[in-house]
Structure 1
Amino acid sequence: MQKILSLVIKASQDFIRHTDEDIKDNAPILNNFFEAVSNVYIPLLRMLENLEADKIKCRFAIVLPPVLCNMLSDPSLQDEYLNWLEKRNTFGKAELRRNKADEKICTIINDTIEKNKKLIADFTEKYNKQLIPVFAEYMTKGYLELMGTCGTDIFMPHYADLKEIISAQIESGLHAYRQYFGVMPEGFWLPAMGYTPGIEKLIRAYGYTYTILDSRSILFSEKVPEAGIFYPSRTDNSLVIFARNRVIDSELFGENGIIYSECYRNQNRDVGYELPMEKLSSLIDKDGIRYSTGFKYWNRCFKDSGCLYNKECAETQLEKDSDAFVEKRFQTLSKAAELLPSYNFVSEICTLDISKLSKTWNECIAWLEKVIRKACDKGLDVLSCDKMCDEQYNLEKIEPYFSAGAGAGYGENLLSSKNCWMMRYIRKSCERMIDLAGRFPMDTGLKTRLLNLGAKELMLAQSLNLAKMINRSEFPQFAEKRFKESIGAFTAVFDSLGSNTVSTEWLTKLEARDSIFPWMNYRIFTKKR
Structure 2
Amino acid sequence: MSGEFALVLHTHLPHLKGHGVWPVGEEWLFQAWAGSWLPVTRMLERLADDGHRDVLTLGVTPLAAHQVRDPRLARDLGTWLGGQMWRSEEQRWHTDMGPEVVELATFYWRHFADLLAYHQDVEARGGLTAVWADLAARGVVQLLGGPATHPYLPLVADPTLIDAQLASGLGDHAGWAPAPSRGLWVPEMGYRPRGPVGDPTAAPVRVDRYGTPTLPPRGPALPGLEEHYAAHGIDHVLIDTATLWAGEGRPGRDWTANEVLASGEYADLPALHEGVLIGDGEVAAFARDLNVGCHVWSAAAGYPADVWYRDYFAHGTFGTHPSWRVTDRSLPPDAKQPYVPAAAAERVEAHAQHFHGELRRTLADRPGGVVVCAYDTELFGHWWFEGPAWLEAVLRRVATDPELRTTTLASRRERHPPTRRLRLPESSWGHAKSHASWVADTTRPMWQAIDEAIATARAALAGGRGRPEAREQVARELALLMTSDWPYMVLRGNAAGYAEERVRGHADALANLCRLIEEGRDDVPEVTRLAAVDDAPRDVSAFLAALDPSTAPAAAG
| Structure 1 and Structure 2 fold alike (TM over 0.5) | yes
User: 1:176-215 CA distances to partner (integer Å, 9 max, x unpaired)?
Assistant: 1022225211101110000010000001000111111112
Alignment of 1:391-470 (within 5 A): 395-433=419-457, 439-440=462-463, 446-470=466-490
User: 1:62-85 CA distances to partner (integer Å, 9 max, x unpaired)?
Assistant: 111111111111111111111112
SS in 1 for 2:58: strand
**Cα distance in structure 2, aligned partners of 1:173 and 1:101:** 48
* Cα pair distance change 1:433/1:209, threshold 3 Å: farther
TM-score, normalised to structure 1's length? 0.87
Report whether the alignment pairs 1:97 with 2:93. yes
Please report how far the alpha carbon of residue 474 of structure 1 lies from its aligned counterpart in structure 2 after TM superposition. 2.4
**What is the aligned partner in structure 1 of residue 186 from structure 2?**
190
Report whether the alignment pairs 1:71 with 2:97. no
Report whether the alignment pairs 1:477 with 2:477. no
Runs of 4+ in structure 1 off by over 6 angstroms are: 223-226, 391-394
User: 1:123-154 CA distances to partner (integer Å, 9 max, x unpaired)?
Assistant: 22354271110111100111110111111121
**Cα distance in structure 2, aligned partners of 1:484 and 1:203:** 30
**Cα distance in structure 2, aligned partners of 1:261 and 1:223:** 37
Report whether the alignment pairs 1:232 with 2:228. no
The residue type paired with residue 146 of structure 2 is T
SS in 2 for 1:10: strand
* Cα pair distance change 1:265/1:222, threshold 3 Å: closer
Report whether the alignment pairs 1:313 with 2:343. yes
**What is the aligned partner in structure 1 of residue 289 from structure 2?**
245
**Cα distance in structure 1, aligned partners of 2:369 and 2:353:** 21
**Cα distance in structure 2, aligned partners of 1:447 and 1:127:** 35
CA contact (8 A) 1:100 1:106 kept: no
**Cα distance in structure 1, aligned partners of 2:418 and 2:187:** 27
User: 1:350-375 CA distances to partner (integer Å, 9 max, x unpaired)?
Assistant: 10112245443111111111111112
**What is the aligned partner in structure 1 of residue 306 from structure 2?**
261
**Cα distance in structure 2, aligned partners of 1:141 and 1:112:** 33
Q: Which moved more, 1:467-476 or 1:327-336?
A: 467-476
CA contact (8 A) 1:223 1:399 kept: no
**Cα distance in structure 2, aligned partners of 1:122 and 1:100:** 33
CA contact (8 A) 1:167 1:202 kept: yes
**Cα distance in structure 1, aligned partners of 2:396 and 2:235:** 28
Please report how far the alpha carbon of residue 231 of structure 1 lies from its aligned counterpart in structure 2 after TM superposition. 0.9
CA contact (8 A) 2:92 2:103 kept: no
Sequence identity percentage: 19
SS in 2 for 1:336: coil
| Of 38, 41, 44, the match for 1:45 | 41
CA contact (8 A) 2:137 2:178 kept: no
Q: Which moved more, 1:44-53 or 1:353-362?
A: 353-362
CA contact (8 A) 1:223 1:398 kept: no
**Cα distance in structure 2, aligned partners of 1:415 and 1:202:** 23
Please report how far the alpha carbon of residue 506 of structure 1 lies from its aligned counterpart in structure 2 after TM superposition. 0.9
TM-score, normalised to structure 2's length? 0.83
Alignment of 1:15-414 (within 5 A): 15-18=15-18, 28-99=24-95, 102-128=98-124, 130-159=127-156, 161-197=157-193, 198-221=224-247, 227-235=270-278, 236-254=280-298, 255-271=300-316, 274-275=317-318, 295-302=321-328, 305-337=335-367, 345-356=368-379, 358-378=381-401, 379-390=403-414, 395-414=419-438
Please report how far the alpha carbon of residue 411 of structure 1 lies from its aligned counterpart in structure 2 after TM superposition. 3.0
Alignment of 1:496-511 (within 5 A): 496-511=516-531
Please report how far the alpha carbon of residue 493 of structure 1 lies from its aligned counterpart in structure 2 after TM superposition. 2.5
CA contact (8 A) 2:40 2:380 kept: no
The residue type paired with residue 13 of structure 2 is Q
CA contact (8 A) 2:467 2:523 kept: no
Please report how far the alpha carbon of residue 435 of structure 1 lies from its aligned counterpart in structure 2 after TM superposition. 5.8
SS in 1 for 2:308: coil
* Cα pair distance change 1:170/1:498, threshold 3 Å: same
* Cα pair distance change 1:520/1:182, threshold 3 Å: farther
CA contact (8 A) 2:94 2:102 kept: no
The residue type paired with residue 269 of structure 1 is A
**Cα distance in structure 1, aligned partners of 2:311 and 2:11:** 22
Please report how far the alpha carbon of residue 102 of structure 1 lies from its aligned counterpart in structure 2 after TM superposition. 4.3
CA contact (8 A) 2:236 2:286 kept: yes
CA contact (8 A) 1:12 1:64 kept: yes
Please report how far the alpha carbon of residue 503 of structure 1 lies from its aligned counterpart in structure 2 after TM superposition. 4.5
Alignment gaps of 5+ in structure 2:
194-223, 251-267
**Number of equivalenced pairs:** 494
**Cα distance in structure 2, aligned partners of 1:333 and 1:144:** 23
SS in 1 for 2:443: coil
Please report how far the alpha carbon of residue 94 of structure 1 lies from its aligned counterpart in structure 2 after TM superposition. 2.1
CA contact (8 A) 1:151 1:170 kept: yes
The residue type paired with residue 397 of structure 2 is K
**Cα distance in structure 2, aligned partners of 1:178 and 1:150:** 12
SS in 2 for 1:347: strand
Please report how far the alpha carbon of residue 226 of structure 1 lies from its aligned counterpart in structure 2 after TM superposition. 8.3
